[in-house]
Amino acid sequence: MSNLTDQSTRSYTLTPDEASATAELTLDLAATYASFEDADLLRDLPRLATRLPLGVQRFLRDFKLGDRHGHVVVRGHEFDQRRIGPTPEHWRGRPRPGGEFPEELLLMLYSALLGEPFGWATQQDGHLVHDIFPIRQHENDQLGMGSKELLTWHTEDAFHPYRSDYLILGALRNPDRVPTTIGELDLASLSEEDIDILFEPRFHIAPDESHLPKNNTITSEEQAARFATIQKMIDERPLGPLLYGSRQDPYMRLDPYFTSVPEDDADARRAYDALCKVVDAGMREVVADQGDVLFIDNHRAVHGRLPFQARYDGTDRWLKRVCVTVDLRRSRPMRATAETRLLG
């Protein structure tokens, strides 16, 4: 059972019968479909998701349609630790599917209730479901694979126009109860002038390092071309807004660690600093325990992670991550250039 630091987090706890039925469903699907390379599985996801408990279906539907909350949690899943096996040393080179395939399928079913799952060709070698666990050589990096350093709060893939609408994080295990940090926007704490500036294209957000060649595998010219597009975003430094949508209830795209403001734009710097201060003041800690699934609205909430001491002994925190888009069509021009590996 989760013990969330912020008790205002909306949550749904599966009943024992619901948890058992959900586990049985995912085990059945894992025996039916070979992998996520199975086109039938990807096509069938919306239909298969209707076999999830009705209560959780309604809970996530309310989360999506309400467009008010930045995050919610579904608790109480049965994640078989023996079948899942030890926390890996690295995501690269692992057999796929692995013992945790049923848990990955669960996240994919949940993604079908919110939209369509997708993966980046430039992140974790294009896999649809990502691994999040500490890797020794990244322990001081601004990556999900880090541990010793604070993972600064951010919008997932804030640099990209086709970033995910939702992020799903499933906790296979979290023995040290490492918190995920969550922040939302208190518009009342910003001046009208600063809000106006934050809606203007006066800020640059660079791609984070998970999208760089050094953290992926390149075996062809086609793959190299995809990373060339990422490098172009770094070199050309396009400017964009940090707030968008409704002026009265805006969405946000933020990633302070990779954000820069033109040196000659003092007003933009002031507005940016004020925005970061507001988000910092409202940050909360959410502990996703084993069996919890955290859903983040990537337009309404930023997220990060507190530092922790990794053990690298097979027992460390291990999350699974899925990116979700609500509209595949908007990314069609870029998918035609094979930069992203989206379903459809």
**What residues does each domain of the chain span?**
11-330
Read out DSSP for 1-69? ----SSTTSEEEE--HHHHHHHHHHHHHHHHH---TT-HHHHHHHHHHHTTS-HHHHHHHHHHHHH---
pLDDT of residue 283: 94
pLDDT of residue 266: 97
Q: Is 184 exposed, middle or buried (0-12, 13-18, 19+ CB in 10 A)?
A: middle
Whole-prediction pTM? 0.89
Can you list the positions of beta strands (E) in 134-248?
A: 151-154, 166-173, 180-183, 204-205, 243-245
Q: How far is CA 339 from CA 143, 224, 230, 291, in A?
A: 21, 10, 9, 33
**Separation of alpha carbons 320 and 322, rounded Å:** 7
pLDDT means over runs of 10, the chain (344 residues): 51 97 98 93 96 98 94 97 96 89 98 93 82 92 87 93 95 96 92 97 84 60 63 73 95 94 96 96 94 98 96 97 90 56 36
For domain 11-330, the CATH architecture is 4-Layer Sandwich (3.60)
pLDDT of residue 4: 35
pLDDT of residue 141: 86
pLDDT of residue 195: 97
Q: Is 303 annotated as a binding residue?
A: yes
Q: Is 156 annotated as a binding residue?
A: yes
Closest CA to 132 of 161, 159, 103: 103
Q: Is 221 annotated as a binding residue?
A: no
